[in-house]
Amino acid sequence: MAGVTTTDPAEVYRDGLAHGELRYQRCQWCATRFSQVSLLCATCGGTDFVWERSSGHGRIHALPRTAAPADWQECAAVVELDEGFRMQARLAPTAAHRIWRGAPVQLEVAETHDGSLRPLFRPVAA
């Protein structure tokens, strides 16, 4: 990814969030994409990664079995991004009728209580 000057993967990821971006690593050997910062490819064992920027668009892949409409203030989900990788993420508070497996989502960056940033996905109209 052009413009990345640090070699610390966690810093590159955090810098992306600070710019409203979800950055991810892609293995140069086998093209596997990773939502979590990685130093070793789980598919081929490669150690050569490039940084790419996600569009921030995806779909809800899975929801917790215990989730009920009363729990939709903010809940965990597995989101599959348009780039083909999945990540554990939080869903933004939204009406229960907008949350289902396959619902389209869009990235937002949220600040936590300690001031750090994290990805958050908001269900959007299909």
- The Cα–Cα gap between 82 and 79 comes to 10
In order along its 126 residues, the chain shows pLDDT tens digits of 555 556 788 899 999 999 999 999 999 999 999 888 888 999 999 999 999 999 999 999 998 766 555 545 668 899 999 999 999 999 998 888 888 999 999 999 999 999 999 999 999 987
Strand order in the sheet with 23-27: 33-34, 23-27, 49-53
pLDDT reported for residue 66: 60
pLDDT reported for residue 9: 86
At which residue do the structure tokens 């990345």 appear? 4
pLDDT reported for residue 56: 97
> Residues 6 or more apart from 7 whose CB is under 8 A from it?
none
**What global pTM score does this model have?**
0.83
Give the angle subtended at the CA of 103 by the CAs of 37 and 17, to the nearest 5°. 30
pLDDT reported for residue 55: 97
